């Protein structure tokens, strides 16, 4: 029998973390963060990372496991989430995956292979030598021409991922995107999905309010400390909540413009998250009323109790 897993998904600011805590307490569960940004140490405010007090004694995994200058791939995420699902299950507890990074969550829970092709170390060494001489730009442009869909997912300065994508194409004749799309993506676990949604204008208001609260808590100083360390080109700094302030620090835009960009990008991201999950996975959706959260959650509790609280 497949291991049972609860996956709570949906757009930013909809209340996924609160539901995760509540379910973990009711169902004897532990939480795995499904957010691709909360892995970074020192990036707390901009990622809306749950605090120790906010965790309410519930064990959380996949938080603060990487330095902000380190790279982190979907494959890395996949490996660790599967490891922690096993760790939690071995304790006799329910693994609860909570987050909004759709591709990451799908990759972890489904039979998702990024490439079965073994590394060609000769190709990699040759590419690294050429990048050292010519820079990354011509090779990233080559990837854009070959596989624009994959190139859009990779930051130009992430040499390792650019090389790997080109290597797959050179050794198999198939782009990384083609390979991924050809897979059947069968579930490895008995996944019980919980999709949270909210009336759009209410959600957008919550997102704007959350950004204002982040500013009040010191978001600008958090980003500035990372910027002053010379990390502006790192993968971590390309996340929403961080990248918007870099032009401000350079004197290219005003603070007000940076704030407007952050709110706009956050709202657009929420829309993309919702669309991604709707299109990719068959998920039951629960509409959350922010003025009646306990009542909204009680329906979810009832639906899952029959599955996870059977004697």
- Specify the CATH number for the domain of residue 177: 1.10.20.140
Tell me, yes or no, whether 97 and 238 share the same domain.
yes
- Residues 296 and 205 both lie in one domain: yes
For 95, 141, 156, 168, 235, the CA distances from 124, given in Å and listed in that order, are: 37, 17, 17, 11, 20
Q: 35-60 burial by CB neighbour count: b if 16+ within 10 A, else e?
A: bbbbbbeebbbbbbbbeeeebeebeb
For 17-39, the DSSP string reads HHHHHHHHHHHTEEEEE--SSTT
Q: For tokens 């401000």, what's the residue?
A: 248
Residues 58 and 94 in one domain: yes
Q: Which of 181, 210, 227 is the last residue of a domain?
A: 181
CA 183 centroid distance within chain: 21
Q: What is the spatial order of strands in the sheet that 29-33 belongs to?
A: 60-61, 29-33, 94-98, 4-9, 190-197, 285-287
pLDDT of residue 310: 64
Q: Distance between alpha carbon 2 and the CA centroid of its chain, in Å?
A: 24
Where does residue 290 rank: exposed (0-12), middle (13-18), buried (19+ CB within 10 A)?
middle
Assess whether 79 and 156 both reside in one domain.
Answer: no
Same domain assignment for residues 30 and 74 = yes
Last residue of a domain, one of 181, 198, 219: 181
CB-based burial label for 71 (10 Å; 0-12, 13-18, 19+): middle
| pLDDT tens digit at each of 311 positions of the chain | 899 999 999 999 999 999 999 999 999 999 999 999 999 999 999 999 999 999 999 999 999 999 999 989 888 999 999 999 999 999 999 999 999 899 899 999 998 876 555 567 788 888 889 998 999 999 999 999 999 988 887 878 888 888 988 988 887 788 887 766 665 578 999 999 999 999 999 999 999 999 999 999 999 999 999 999 999 999 999 999 999 999 999 999 999 999 999 999 999 999 999 999 998 889 999 999 999 999 999 999 999 988 887 64
| CATH code of residue 285 | 3.40.50.300
**Domain count within the chain:** 2
Query: What is the structure's pLDDT at 311?
Result: 46
The reply to whether 145 and 194 lie within a common domain is no
Tell me which residue range forms the domain holding 286: 4-112+184-308
Alpha carbon 21 to its chain's center: 19
Both 11 and 86 in one domain: the answer is yes
Are 202 and 95 in a shared domain?
A: yes
Instruction: Indicate whether 149 and 286 sit together in one domain.
Output: no
- As a whole number of angstroms, the distance between CA 68 and CA 7 comes to 26
| CA–CA dist 172, 194 (Å, integer) | 38
Where is the domain boundary, 140, 162, 181?
181
Closest to 94 (Cα-Cα) out of 59, 65, 62: 59
Can you tell me which residue has the tokens 């996944």?
191
Enter the tokens of residue 284. Answer: 């039951």
Long-range (24+ apart) CB contacts under 8 A made by 258-261 are 259/211, 259/215
Spatial distance between the Cα atoms of 238 and 244, rounded to a whole number of angstroms: 9
Q: Are residues 90 and 195 in the same domain?
A: yes
pTM of the predicted protein model:
0.80
- Do residues 51 and 163 share a domain? no
Contact status, residue 226 vs residue 68, Cβ threshold 8 Å: yes
CB 101 within 8 A of CB 36: yes
CB count in 10 Å sphere of residue 167: 19
Name the region of 49 (left: φ>0; alpha: ψ -120 to 50; beta: rest).
beta
Shared domain for 292 and 209, answered yes or no, is yes
């Amino acid at each position: 029998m497949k291991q049972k897993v609860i996956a709570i998904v949906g757009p930013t600011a909809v209340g996924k973390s609160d539901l995760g805590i509540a379910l973990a307490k009711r169902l004897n569960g532990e939480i795995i963060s499904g957010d691709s940004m909360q892995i970074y140490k020192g990036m707390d405010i901009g990622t809306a990372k749950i605090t120790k007090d906010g965790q309410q004694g519930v064990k959380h995994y996949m938080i603060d496991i990487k330095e902000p200058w380190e790279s982190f791939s979907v494959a890395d995420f996949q490996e660790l989430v599967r490891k922690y699902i096993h760790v939690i299950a071995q304790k006799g507890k329910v693994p609860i995956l909570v987050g909004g990074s759709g591709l990451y969550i799908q990759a972890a829970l489904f039979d998702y292979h990024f490439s079965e092709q073994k590394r060609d170390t000769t190709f990699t060494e040759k590419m690294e030598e050429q990048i050292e001489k010519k820079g990354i730009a011509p090779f990233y442009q080559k990837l854009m021409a070959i596989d624009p869909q994959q190139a859009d997912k990779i930051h130009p300065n992430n040499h390792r991922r650019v090389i790997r994508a080109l290597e797959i194409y050179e050794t198999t004749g198939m782009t990384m995107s083609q390979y991924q799309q050809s897979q059947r993506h069968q579930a490895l676990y008995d996944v019980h999905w919980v999709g949270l949604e909210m009336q759009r204008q209410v959600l957008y208001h919550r997102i704007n309010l959350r950004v204002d609260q982040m500013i009040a808590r010191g978001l600008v100083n958090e980003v500035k400390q990372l910027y002053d360390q010379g990390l502006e080109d790192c993968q971590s700094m390309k996340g929403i909540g961080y990248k918007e302030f870099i032009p401000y620090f350079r004197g290219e835009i005003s603070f007000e413009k940076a704030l407007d960009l952050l709110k706009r990008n956050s709202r657009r991201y929420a829309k993309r998250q919702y669309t991604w999950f709707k299109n990719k996975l068959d998920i039951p959706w629960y509409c959350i009323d922010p003025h009646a959260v306990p009542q909204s959650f009680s329906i979810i509790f009832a639906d899952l109790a029959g599955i996870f609280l059977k004697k």
